[in-house]
Structure 1
Amino acid sequence: MIGISLIYFVMMILGFFALRRYHGRLLRSERDALFRSSIVPRISVLVPAYNEAGTILDSVKALLTLRYPNHEVVVVNDGSVDGTLERLIEEFRLYRSSRVPTGDLDTSRIRAVYESLDPIPLVVVDKDNGGKSDALNAGLNHSRAPIVAVVDADSILEPDSLLHVMKPFLADGEVDHTLASGGIVRVANGCRIEHGRIVEVGAPSSVLAGFQAIEYLRAFLGGRIAYSFLNSLLVISGAFGVFRRTAVVEAGGFLLDTVGEDMELVVRLHRRWRRGGGRDYRIVFVPEPVSWTEAPESFEVLNRQRNRWQRGLVESLWRHRRMMLNPRYGVVGMFAFPYFLLFEMLGPTVELAGYLLTGVGLAAGFVPLHLALLFFFVSVGFGVLLSLSSLLLEELTVRRYPRPADVGRLFLAAVVENFGLRQLLTVWRTKALFDALRGDRSWGEMERVGFRASKPDAGAAP
């Protein structure tokens, strides 16, 4: 447990120095110049939607008004039964289009393709239900841009998000080195949201969402910056990621037989581009806050989410196990894969075993009480240090929480999460490992409270 926290802390330090060396941040004047440019690559924003009638209109309107000079929005209605398609048709005056697909990835049956009578860059693909990966492949087939952005229907993007994540692609010039990029995903709970836009940032008032806000800071401001610095990034969040379309199609699109399609695709891109002598490429994490997502506020939903994430991790590592400690795959095979195996896949089980063995030893008299307490508090202390370091790094860099009360609430969450929630997540992730070994590929229902009720709360800490 202590070793795991120590490794995380080392990654946080590496991420800090990588962040200090980051000079890619676009100034406001540069973003304005890009927004007015006529030569930036076109982007297709792919939005898989299943039963999103309550939020789909605000989401699409927000995506259509992103500050990017040349993008289209491709919504894939994945067999919704709640009126999602009907709401889109009515709101945007859609008609059946003769638009021909540009790709031939296998997908469920396409029922119809719609475009708007109004001069807006919106395409809606209606298809039989086949799951998220199948919907994304349908979106790839119907996109007409060299770059595709994958966005969850319930994600909220910053207005300049496409400009930020396109920076690595624009830096390539005439050589297509960058295969994919992603940015910081933040927890939207506690923010005030109007018409699919964050209009005021606030820390979550929900205890559980506050814990997750700290967890997201750890993941994005520590580990992913460090991995990107080493060109060994294995995960680009499924909430928002940008990919070179030809690379994804060449790799075979999104696989249907996995619950972790985001990680699996990124690992597959690494594997394909590194084997055979390797091609010069980059998969980049941009340390800019570009997307917001709703965090679960019930233990039941959080359990299902983390179970699915952990099973997706196990599936990806097993599917691409030949990369493990294989010099042919460079730093990905020699560092990133062993790290994910030891600390992300097996780490929770080792931590849980440590708790259990310490408890058994204490009960049997093999472990003195003072040593058991020392073990526990040192382990928790490293966890608190890691969480507080993440919050400090956020305040020193991106600093999105403007009110001291918000920072104080997150500070308290960073401490309290180590006394109960961390241990509970350890149990859930351990169970997920065994579920994956049993071959469980269920998705699980991810009920959402919805953004409309979200608003800043400057009151009590969680």
Structure 2
Amino acid sequence: MNFINILMLFFGSLIAFYMLSIIGSYIVMLLIASSEEGRQTKLDKKTQDADYINAAYAKPISIIVPAYNEEEGILESVYSLLNIRYPQVEYIIVNDGSTDSTLSKVIKEFEMVPVDRIIRKQLDTKEVKQIYRSLKHPNLVLVDKLNGGKADALNTGINVAKYPYFCSIDGDSILEKNALLRVMKPIINSNEEVIAAGGTIRIVNDLTVESGTIAGKGLAKNPLVIMQTIEYIRAFLIGRIALSKFNLVLIISGAFSVFNRKWVIDAGGYSADIIGEDMELVVKLHKLIKQRKSNHRIAYVADPVCYTEAPQKLSILRRQRRRWHQGLLESLTRHKSMSFNPKYKAIGMIAMPYFWLVEALGPIVEIGGYLFVIVSIFLGNIYYAYAIALFLLFVIYSGVYSVAAVLLDAWSTNVYPSVKDIGKIMGCALTEIFWYKPLTLLWRLEGLFRFLRGNKEWGKMERAGFTKEDKLS
């Protein structure tokens, strides 16, 4: 056996072992998520919502919406917040030096007037230029500040907030009416042992939004958006449900999450010098919990839903995915001392290694797998079996796992009641390995190279805005 044969056999075996390990871990997570979702479907959620609306049990919350050039969707997002069922809440819109009409639109639509308000500057931020309050909605506040980035805007909102808990929501997001009630349940039920909780993010593209409410549901027409829908289902419905069960969640989406304000301030707030500020905050909180030898936890709740706009162009999606991967690498590297460190228990011994091996380094191995299949075909008959075996593993990893996630989602939430839509999304899932998966792997590799070069450029994100049935006055 010559050197090339030995090398091919070694790399083929290594990639196959990696893929089998990943598939095995995903099967375990799928079983855990199925069990948890099965238990949740038996609960009377409407009765529970009625119980939690009682102000005696609810914790007051400040909702913080960082907004930079969000003129396309900011009004619908604010209206969705005003529709939320929750007994005691304030709404803080932080205009982070927008260069479009975000500020003027909010001021005009909600009749905002300047006010004097004392800011407890517990976190260092860029200068606040003016604070406004709505004449139509007394609990609605607008903060106009110098541009400092999303993390800086969130820290400003935390300084302005007057309540012990805050909820961070992206400026292009729409919340379901009961979302806040449901995301707060683990915090209330645990007697505040849970210090942070995240909800499910779904894609709003092609859904009808009317005065801040999702008026009609369905499936997007753009195949690129459908593939992102599949990704979101896998990540939230399966991955985070399973990790949350064992307090291993390292990421709760910045698009919709709730935090104990004091714990976040003690952890130093959001880090403005890192791209993935949402993951970075969660890791810092886990670190602080372990340093204090506390039993506090971070949870994920599948039920509360936040709708957000997904990129509809390859160029925009590319920027988003490479930024996500770069942020992941920055956070893991910054806290590398936690990895394989028994001092941090399951977070250090399981969660951090998982994110290193599966999320951070996965693109290198998976791209290697694609290259191995291609090279095997050209090298002749002896490698056909390896190529076919590896290809089947990719099919199971992407296609079959995605189809299982879609079926679980349809069963547990009935989000896609149409048989036609279910068939369409399952069909797209089976094509993932031929076009979408290779693209996302290449973009994540770009994120790796940008991380190694120290490139901090955020990248411009374009918003198409929401589909509306009627125009707001």
TM-score normalized by structure 1?
A: 0.93
Q: 1:389 to 1:147 in 2, by over 3 A?
A: same
Aligned to 2:260: 244
Task: Give the one of 17, 27, 31 matched to 2:49.
Answer: 31
1:52 alignment partner AA: E
Task: Give the one of 400, 424, 432 matched to 1:417.
Answer: 432
1:416-455 to 2 correspondences below 5 Å: 416-452=431-467
Q: 1:327 to 1:20 in 2, by over 3 A?
A: farther
1: CA distance between counterparts of 2:394 and 2:78? 45
Residues 243-295 of structure 1: per-residue CA shift (max 9 Å, x gap): 0111111101100011101111001100111125x201110111114111111
2:149 aligned with 1:134, yes or no? Answer: no
Task: Give the one of 271, 275, 292 matched to 2:307.
Answer: 292
Task: Give the one of 177, 181, 197 matched to 1:163.
Answer: 181
Task: Give the one of 72, 75, 81 matched to 1:63.
Answer: 81
1:190-201 to 2 correspondences below 5 Å: 190-201=206-217
Aligned to 2:6: none
CA contact (8 A) 1:189 1:204 kept: yes
Task: Give the one of 227, 232, 251 matched to 1:235.
Answer: 251
CA contact (8 A) 1:235 1:262 kept: yes
Q: What secondary structure sits across from 1:252 in the alignment? A: coil
Q: 295-304 or 100-109: which moved more?
A: 100-109
CA contact (8 A) 1:289 1:398 kept: no
Residues 116-142 of structure 1: per-residue CA shift (max 9 Å, x gap): 233531111110000000000000000
Task: Give the one of 292, 312, 331 matched to 1:316.
Answer: 331
Aligned to 2:231: 215
> What root-mean-square deviation, in Å, do the aligned CA atoms of Structure 1 and Structure 2 show?
2.0
Aligned to 2:367: 352
Q: 1:415 to 1:99 in 2, by over 3 A?
A: same
Q: What secondary structure sits across from 1:133 in the alignment? A: helix
2:279 alignment partner AA: M
1:284 alignment partner AA: A
Q: What secondary structure sits across from 2:458 in the alignment? A: coil
Aligned-pair distance for 1:95?
Answer: 1.6
Aligned to 2:271: 255
Q: 211-220 or 2-11: which moved more?
A: 2-11
Aligned to 2:161: 143
Higher share of residues assigned helix: 2
CA contact (8 A) 1:358 1:367 kept: no
Q: 1:39 to 1:267 in 2, by over 3 A?
A: same
CA contact (8 A) 2:399 2:430 kept: yes
Residues 75-97 of structure 1: per-residue CA shift (max 9 Å, x gap): 00101121222222222222211
**Identity score, percent:** 42
2: CA distance between counterparts of 1:78 and 1:24? 43
Q: 126-135 or 21-30: which moved more?
A: 21-30
Aligned to 2:10: none
**Gapped regions of structure 1 (runs ≥ 5):** 456-462
2: CA distance between counterparts of 1:240 and 1:361? 45
2: CA distance between counterparts of 1:332 and 1:153? 31
2: CA distance between counterparts of 1:132 and 1:232? 25
Q: 312-321 or 394-403: which moved more?
A: 394-403
Aligned to 1:273: 289
Q: 377-386 or 331-340: which moved more?
A: 377-386
CA contact (8 A) 1:51 1:83 kept: yes
Q: 1:228 to 1:446 in 2, by over 3 A?
A: same
Aligned-pair distance for 1:199?
Answer: 1.2
CA contact (8 A) 1:111 1:128 kept: yes
Aligned-pair distance for 1:454?
Answer: 9.5
CA contact (8 A) 1:380 1:419 kept: no
2: CA distance between counterparts of 1:220 and 1:187? 12
2:378 aligned with 1:363, yes or no? Answer: yes
2:318 aligned with 1:303, yes or no? Answer: yes
Residues 385-406 of structure 1: per-residue CA shift (max 9 Å, x gap): 1001101111221221222222
Q: 247-256 or 380-389: which moved more?
A: 380-389
Aligned-pair distance for 1:420?
Answer: 1.6
1:306 alignment partner AA: R
